[in-house]
Structure 1
Amino acid sequence: MSQKNAGHAPGVLGLLPDSSVTKFLGHGIQSGTESPPLVALLRTATTLPDGEVRWRTGPLRELVDEAMRRFDARRVEADAWLAPRLHATLRMSRAEAADSRRWNYLAMVVAPDYVVWRHRGAVAAAASRFSGPHHTQAFARLWWAAEMFRNGSDYGPVETACRVQDVLNTTLRLDIIDHRPTALAIIRVLERLIADESPRLGDRVNALSSAVNTAGSTLIYDVLAPDVLVDSAALQDWISDSMSMPPVPWARLPFGPEDGEVPNEAVEALLPLFERLLGDSQVRARPRHAAGEDN
C-alpha cells in the first residue's frame, strides 16, 4: 500500500465502529496488497468537529510518514520515537482515548500503511493491530504507553518503556500501572537493567511485571508510595492549547501536560521492593518469536 493512496484520507479524524472494521478488513489489507475501501468506511464513520485542531489528520500523517522514513530498517525502534509525539499531537482525555472507534479510524482510514509497515511480520498484520485492545492496537498502544509512563510533562520514561516490547505487550495490560509511582518504579528498574546490559530484557520485564502485579494492588502500592493528585485543570489547558500548538519537534522530545510530577520519594520507596521481587522471581526464557520482539 502506497503512502500516496493513504494520503486521500479526510482532513479530520472520525469515529469508525468496530463492526465496520470486522466487515471490511481482509487479508489483502492486512498484508498491504490492497487499500481499505475508503468510501464504504466513511459511510459508516462519524466525523469529529473540524474546528478542533487536535483532530486534524495532516500532523498525524506527517508523523507516521517520518517514522517510516527514519526507522525503515528497524521498525521496532519506531515505537519509542512515535509514542510521545503521537500523544503530544493527539491531545485528549483518557475517556476520549478509551473510545476504540477513534483508533479504528486512524488505522483503517488515515494510516493503514503504517499498521502494515510496523506489524506485518512474515505475512500480514494481525487484525487486532487495526482494531483491538488498547495494549495491542497499533496506535492506541503507543498513545496509552505515553499516557501511563510519562512523568507529568516529561516523556523521557516513555522512551525507555518503548525500548522493550514486553512493556507494551505485557506491563501495559496491568491495572497496577494506573498508580503512577508503580509505573515509574518499573521503568527505573528497567533503566538499571539496560545500563547493566542485562540479557533477555523482555523476559526480565515480564518477570518483574508479573511479580509486582501478584505482590500487591494499586491500593497497597498507594499506601507504600502515595502519589499526588493529577491537576485536571492543567490537563484541560494542555488539551485546549492544541488550538494554537505548533507541530511537535522531531529532534527532541515534546512536552506533555504539566499536570503534576510523581513525587520522587514515592518512586524511591518502591524501588527496593521491586528489585527484590525481580531477584526472587523466575525469569523464564522464551523463544524469540514468542517474546514479541518483532511486532
Structure 2
Amino acid sequence: MIEKPHHVPERLGLLSATAADPYLTEDLLKGVQGHGGVDLAKVVEPLPEDDARWSVEPLRDLVDDAKYQFKDNRTDADSWLAPRLHATLRLTRREAADKRIWNHLALAVAPDYVAWRHAPAPTQGGSEPRINPARFKGAPDRQCFSRLWWAAEMFRNGQDYAPVVAACANQDLIHNALRMDLVDHRPTAQALVRVLERGIAGTGREINGLMTAINIAGATLVYDALAPDEPRDPEALRQWIAEAESAPPVPRHDLPTGPDEEPVPEKSVATLTEYFAELFETAPVRGRVPQA
C-alpha cells in the first residue's frame, strides 16, 4: 500500500483536472507507489493566505486517525470521517462545488488515504486490480472526500451530525442520495435516515428501489408542500465559517457541532417518513416477491 507523500503541502490549494492527470500514475492506481509531491506543488493554484480554513494539518491528522482507528473495517471510516471532515473544512456550498479543492486534497494531501479506503479492485476484463480514478478526481458521489463532505452537508440536521453517521453507514444510500436533487430538501434527507433506522429498507437492493420510487413520486408530488422546511438563515453559516480560525480540533470520540441552524421541523420529517414507508411497499425492489 502506498505511503504518505514525502512532501505534504501546508495549505490546501486548487488542482485542476488537467494538472492532476500526470499524477494519476499506473503505480498510484495499482496502489503500489505514490508520488513525492514536490513536482505536483508547482501546478497548484494557491488559496488566500489569510484564511485559516486552508490549513492542511488538521485534515492530515483526521485521515491518519481514521486509518488507525478503522484498519480492520475501512468502510466504517466513512461514518466517522464525514461529520469531522465537514466540521473541519468549513466551506460554503459554492466552495465545495469546486472540484479542484477535492483534487488537491486527494492527490497532494492524502493520496495514501484514498488508496487505503478505496483499495485496488478487479476491473472488467480481468486486468490487474486498480483504484477507480474517480476516487481521486471525479463526481461528488464518487470522489473520496467530496462524497463525505456532501453527505454531511445533506444529512446533518442543523448543527446535529448524528443523522450523518446513520446515513454514511449505508453506502447505497449516500451514493444514490448525492445524485438526487431531492435530498437538498432537508425533510427528505431526514426522512430517509428515519426509514433506514426503522429497518424499513436496509439492503442495497431495498435502498435502490426506495430511491427510485421516491424520485418517480417526486416528479408529480412537491415534497415542499407535503413537508415544509424552515428557511435557512445564511448568517448562521457565515458565523460558523468565521469561527474556523479559533475553533479547536474536532473531537474524536464525540460528534462535532455544525452551523447553528434551525433543525428540520419534526412534523415534516414524520410525515415524509410515513409516506416513504408506504412508497416502499410498492417500490421496485429486485428479487422481492410482489405482495398479493
Instruction: Give the TM-score taking structure 2 as reference length.
Output: 0.92
Q: Residue 83 in 1 paired to residue 89 in 2?
A: no
Residue 183 (structure 2) aligned to one of 168, 177, 181: 177
Name the aligned partner's letter for residue 120 of structure 1. Answer: A
Counterpart of 2:43 in structure 1: which amino acid?
T
* SS of residue in 2 equivalent to 1:132: coil
Report if aligned partners of 1:227, 1:266 keep a CA contact under 8 Å in 2.
yes
TM-score, normalised with respect to structure 1: 0.91
Number of the residue aligned with 1:125: 131
1:249 aligns to 2:255 (yes or no): no
Q: 4+ runs of 1 displaced by more than 3 Å?
A: none
1:212 to 211, 214, 223: 214
Q: How does 1:37-186 map to 2 (within 5 A)?
A: 38-122=37-121, 123-186=129-192
Q: Deviations over 1:226-247 (max 9, x none)?
A: 1111110010000000010000
CA distance in 2, matches of 1:110, 1:232: 30
Measure, in 2, the Cα distance between the counterparts of 1:67 and 1:285: 36
Structure 2, unmatched stretches of 5+, are 122-128
For the Cα contact (< 8 Å) 1:116–1:124, is it kept in 2? no
Q: Distance in 1 between matches of 2:23 and 2:111?
A: 13
- CA drift of 1:208 comes to 1.1
1:270-289 matches, cutoff 5 A = 270-284=272-286
Superposed CA deviations along residues 133-162 of structure 1, whole A, max 9, x for unmatched, are 011000000000000000000000000000
Partners of 1:24 and 1:147 in 2: CA distance: 29
Change (3 A) 1:219 1:56: farther
Q: CA deviation at 1:269?
A: 1.5
Tell me which amino acid in the other structure corresponds to 2:78: D
Q: Is the 8 A contact 1:234 1:258 kept in 2?
A: yes
* Distance verdict in 2 for CA 1:69–1:249, change over 3 Å: same
**What is aligned with 2:24?**
25
Q: Deviations over 1:189-242 (max 9, x none)?
A: 01101xx7x7x6222111111110110149700011111111100100000000
Instruction: Let me know the Cα RMSD of the aligned residues.
Output: 1.8
Distance 2:189 2:287 in 1: 23
Q: Which runs of 5+ in 1 are unaligned?
A: 287-295
Residues 218 and 64 (structure 1), Cα distance of their counterparts in 2 relative to 1, 3 Å cut: farther
The 8 Å contact of residues 189 and 274 in structure 1, kept in 2 or not, is answered as yes
Give 1:30 deviation, angstroms.
1.6
Distance 2:36 2:220 in 1: 44
Which one-letter code corresponds to 2:267 in the other structure? Answer: E
1:50–1:56 Cα contact (<8 Å) kept: no
Deviation at 1:36, TM superposition (A): 2.6
Whether 2:191 is the aligned partner of 1:189: answer no
Q: Hey, what does 1:292 align to over in structure 2? A: none
Count of residue pairs brought into register by the alignment? 281
CA contact (8 A) 1:177 1:183 kept: yes
Q: Distance in 1 between matches of 2:176 and 2:139?
A: 12
Q: 1:282: Cα distance to partner?
A: 2.5
AA matched with 1:241 = E
User: What percentage of aligned pairs have identical amino acids?
Assistant: 48
Which letter does structure 2 place at the counterpart of 1:32? G
Please state how far the C-alpha of 1:7 moved relative to its aligned partner. Answer: 5.6
Seen in structure 2, the aligned counterparts of structure 1 residues 78 and 285 have a Cα distance that, compared at 3 Å, is farther
- Work out the CA distance in 2 between the residues paired with 1:225 and 1:117: 40
The separation in 2 between residues aligned to 1:7 and 1:56, in whole angstroms, is 18
